[in-house]
Amino acid sequence: MTDPVSRTILLLDIEKYSNRDDVEQAYLRRMLYGIADRVLESAGIDATQRRRADRGDSVMELIDAGASTTALLRALLTEGPVQLRAVNRMTAASAQIRLRAVLATGYVAVDELDGWVGADLNHACRLLDADVLRLALRERHDDFALCVSESVHHGIVRHDYPGVPRDEFHAVTVRSKNGPLQAWLHGPVPGDMRNPDGTSGPEDSVPSTAASGTRGATASPVDLSNASFGGSYVAGDQHGVSGNGTVYGDVHLGGGGAARRGERE
């Protein structure tokens, strides 16, 4: 295995992929990869700066640290919904594509089987399957829900760069086996996860230190549990993957030995 290197991590996942038949799934995969390519191209990220992992109903991109994460985030907020609308306006209801997305940064190592290993990658995967992101997508009409990691918020969002409005991001907390993970949801927090006073989490949720001193952040984060990513597609030295797709060990995304992933909701 190589030494870990700094990378931007982009995850995109299709909602209710396993509910479609094989023909529809094949079409959705082609549309997903085309959307990902066009978003990355609009951010000025070419093929030499990215590495893709195919996970069936999702794509995972490792992007060189030298590429602009700010430009990519701006493209996700603008070009992502545009591309989704362009695809969905030409397709039947059964072929509509709705996406959850996570943008994170961190250190990732690649092993001899092209497996991706790293705690930062594990965290990004758990954010992708967090209930708050799933519910946010269900409540929205633009077919797209985005969550960014604490590192992306700290380095980019909170500075209110053009095209990245910090007031539109809200602090949430995803509870994992390694402790609470801080993250930031773009757009409103789902209604049934807000307190009666309008804050974005239950009264007994884990306090968020990230929101202090940040304009536009909500006061209380969402406290979630049982976040999961994928199913039995994980290869390598992964341990503890249940049949329903919940990951109990650290995620090791395998290369050549990857099996077909389990059903996702």
In a domain, 36, yes or no: yes
3-state secondary structure of 53: strand
Q: How many domains does the chain have?
A: 1
pLDDT of residue 46: 92
- Range name among 6-20, 152-166, 184-198 with the lowest pLDDT average: 184-198
Q: Are 132 and 218 in contact (CB under 8 A)?
A: no
Q: What's the CATH number where 135 sits?
A: 3.30.70.1230
Q: Which domain holds residue 160?
A: 5-191+208-253
The answer for residues whose C-beta is within 8 angstroms of residue 243's C-beta and 6 or more apart is 231, 232, 262
In a domain, 197, yes or no: no
pLDDT of residue 194: 58
In a domain, 38, yes or no: yes
Main-chain phi, psi angles of 10, to 5 degrees: -120, 125
The mean per-residue pLDDT over the stretch 16-30 comes to: 83
Query: 56-103: per-residue pLDDT in tens?
Result: 678 899 999 999 999 999 999 999 999 999 998 888 887 889 999 999
Q: Are 118 and 126 in contact (CB under 8 A)?
A: no
In a domain, 236, yes or no: yes
Of the chain, the percentage scoring pLDDT greater than 90 comes to 49
For the four alpha carbons of 241, 242, 248 and 253, in that order, the dihedral sign comes to: positive
What band does 9 get if pLDDT is binned at 50, 70 and 90? very high
What band does 248 get if pLDDT is binned at 50, 70 and 90? very low
In a domain, 199, yes or no: no
How many angstroms separate the Cα of 111 from the Cα of each of 58, 64, 232? 21, 17, 19
Task: State the pTM of this model.
Answer: 0.72
In a domain, 198, yes or no: no
pLDDT of residue 16: 83
The mean per-residue pLDDT over the stretch 29-58 comes to: 90
In a domain, 132, yes or no: yes
In a domain, 149, yes or no: yes
